């Protein structure tokens, strides 16, 4: 604990989402130590007031709260248990994993951390890079309600937190969020193709339906990306596909039939395999345009 009573925070993974989250924590007055596998992504945060560590284990030493924002479940498990982060954390510290990983992996990590005397929340987020920068993320926390309450001041710097259930529940809710995001991106992209083929302006169409029943953050933000044809990733299509794969695996385990999710998952798979992996997930428009050009050809 720092001398002014502010919780000491370590943040592992300072990429597209992690870096703006760190800046929000710093603006709220928290002392933050950062680490990233590619150190050049963490270095700019020093100018904002962060301390940069040379190893992940060094970063978490003495921290009250450790955030992870990593690529996938394998990366989180490797960081925690192979690279010594769990061993370096102080007893009673709270690990807040904001990565999007499969619920069974989140539950396994929580159990292994408990064996080390470390509390754990799986707390994936929604809101993209814009929400991360503005401190308006939707945070879905799985774990003990008391741990969520204990970090109320920390979460307040990042957005709005909701305790959604026991360990793994945060990841389940994030997958459901990603279902809605993916299907809505597909719907907006198909609508853009339809209105243009029919002779209307895509930009005028988007303006016309704003505020009606079709309004959404996807229409607002990703609809604008589609019109501007700006597919620099805020959320990479490869990551969207990873989440959809996890949704379908969970659906299979629960004997659920999810036809819309299955279809959009296939479209993202084809887009990623065709070279769209690092394009923003709104870039699914490009795949659907190619399909229609092929049909018309």
pLDDT band at residue 101 under the 50/70/90 scheme: confident
pLDDT at 5 (0 to 100): 78
Do 162 and 178 have their domain in common? Answer: no
Arithmetic mean of pLDDT, 138-151: 97
Percentages helix, strand, coil for the chain, rounded to the nearest 5? 55, 15, 30
Arithmetic mean of pLDDT, 194-199: 97
Let me know if 146 is exposed, middle or buried by CB neighbors in 10 A (0-12, 13-18, 19+).
exposed
Q: Does residue 4 lie in a domain region?
A: no
Are 288 and 193 a contacting pair, CB within 8 Å? yes
Query: Is pLDDT larger for residue 170 or for residue 296?
Result: 170
Q: What is the DSSP letter of 222?
A: I
Domain range for 244 is: 173-296
Do 57 and 161 have their domain in common? Answer: yes
pLDDT at 135 (0 to 100): 97
Is beta strand 137-142 parallel, antiparallel or unpaired with respect to 125-126? antiparallel
pLDDT at 297 (0 to 100): 46
Do 187 and 289 have their domain in common? Answer: yes
Do 234 and 162 have their domain in common? Answer: no
**End residue of a domain, out of 115, 147, 166:** 166
Q: What is the DSSP letter of 160?
A: E
Do 13 and 121 have their domain in common? Answer: yes
* C-alpha gyration radius of the chain: 20
Do 141 and 213 have their domain in common? Answer: no
**End residue of a domain, out of 144, 166, 188:** 166
User: Of 26, 84, 80, 82, which is closest to residue 58 (Cα–Cα)?
Assistant: 84
Q: Which of 7, 174, 242, 279 is catalytic?
A: 174
CATH number, domain at 242? Answer: 1.10.1040.10
Cα angle for residues 240, 242, 248 (degrees, 5° grid): 105
Do 85 and 191 have their domain in common? Answer: no
- In the three-class reduction of DSSP (H, G, I as helix; E, B as strand; rest coil), residue 37 is classed as coil
Q: Does residue 47 lie in a domain region?
A: yes
Arithmetic mean of pLDDT, 164-177: 95
Which region among 1-15, 21-35, 110-124, 278-292 has the lowest average model confidence (pLDDT)? 1-15
Query: For the chain, how many structural domains are there in total?
Result: 2
Do 41 and 151 have their domain in common? Answer: yes
Do 117 and 212 have their domain in common? Answer: no
Cα angle for residues 225, 230, 234 (degrees, 5° grid): 80
Mean pLDDT for the chain overall: 95
Which region among 96-110, 157-171, 183-197 has the lowest average model confidence (pLDDT)? 96-110
- pLDDT per residue as tens digits for the range 21-80: 999 999 999 999 999 999 999 999 999 999 999 999 999 999 999 999 998 888 999 999
**End residue of a domain, out of 133, 166, 199:** 166
Cβ contacts of 198 within 8 Å, gap of 6 or more: none
Which region among 2-11, 25-34, 156-165 has the lowest average model confidence (pLDDT)? 2-11
Do 150 and 256 have their domain in common? Answer: no
Do 53 and 131 have their domain in common? Answer: yes
Residue with tokens 């243009």: 196
Q: Is 174 a catalytic residue?
A: yes
- pLDDT per residue as tens digits for the range 205-259: 999 999 999 999 999 999 999 999 999 998 899 999 999 999 999 999 999 999 9
Cβ contacts of 137 within 8 Å, gap of 6 or more: 21, 125, 126, 127, 131, 158, 159, 160
- pLDDT per residue as tens digits for the range 264-274: 999 999 999 99
Token reading at 248 = 């379908």
Interatomic CA distance for residues 193 and 197, integer angstroms = 6
């Amino acid at each position: 604990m720092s001398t002014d009573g502010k919780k000491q925070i370590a943040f592992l993974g300072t990429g597209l989402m992690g870096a703006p989250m760190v800046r929000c924590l710093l603006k709220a007055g928290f002392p933050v130590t950062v680490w990233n596998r590619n150190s050049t992504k963490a270095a700019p945060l020093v100018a904002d007031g962060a301390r940069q560590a040379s190893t992940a284990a060094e970063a978490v030493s003495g921290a009250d709260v450790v955030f992870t924002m990593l690529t996938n479940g394998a990366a989180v498990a490797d960081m925690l248990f192979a690279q010594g982060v769990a061993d370096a954390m102080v007893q009673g510290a709270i690990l807040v994993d904001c990565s999007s990983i499969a619920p069974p992996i989140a539950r396994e990590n929580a159990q292994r951390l408990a064996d080390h005397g470390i509390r754990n929340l799986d707390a994936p987020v929604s809101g993209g890079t814009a929400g991360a920068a503005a401190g308006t993320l939707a945070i879905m926390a799985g774990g003990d309600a008391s741990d969520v309450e204990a970090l109320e001041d920390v979460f307040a710097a990042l957005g709005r937190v909701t305790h959604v259930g026991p360990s793994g529940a945060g990841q389940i809710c994030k997958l459901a969020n990603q279902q809605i995001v993916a299907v809505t991106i597909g719907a907006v992209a198909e609508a853009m193709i339809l209105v243009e083929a029919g002779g209307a302006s895509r930009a005028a169409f988007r303006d016309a339906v704003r505020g009606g029943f079709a309004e959404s953050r996807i229409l607002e933000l990703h609809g604008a990306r589609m019109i501007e044809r700006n597919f620099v990733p805020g959320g990479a299509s490869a990551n969207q596909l990873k989440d959809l794969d996890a949704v379908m695996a969970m659906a299979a385990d629960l004997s659920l039939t999810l036809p819309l999710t299955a279809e959009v998952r296939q479209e993202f798979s084809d887009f990623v395999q065709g070279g769209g992996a690092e394009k923003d997930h709104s870039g699914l428009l490009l795949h659907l345009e190619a399909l229609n050009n092929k049909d018309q050809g």
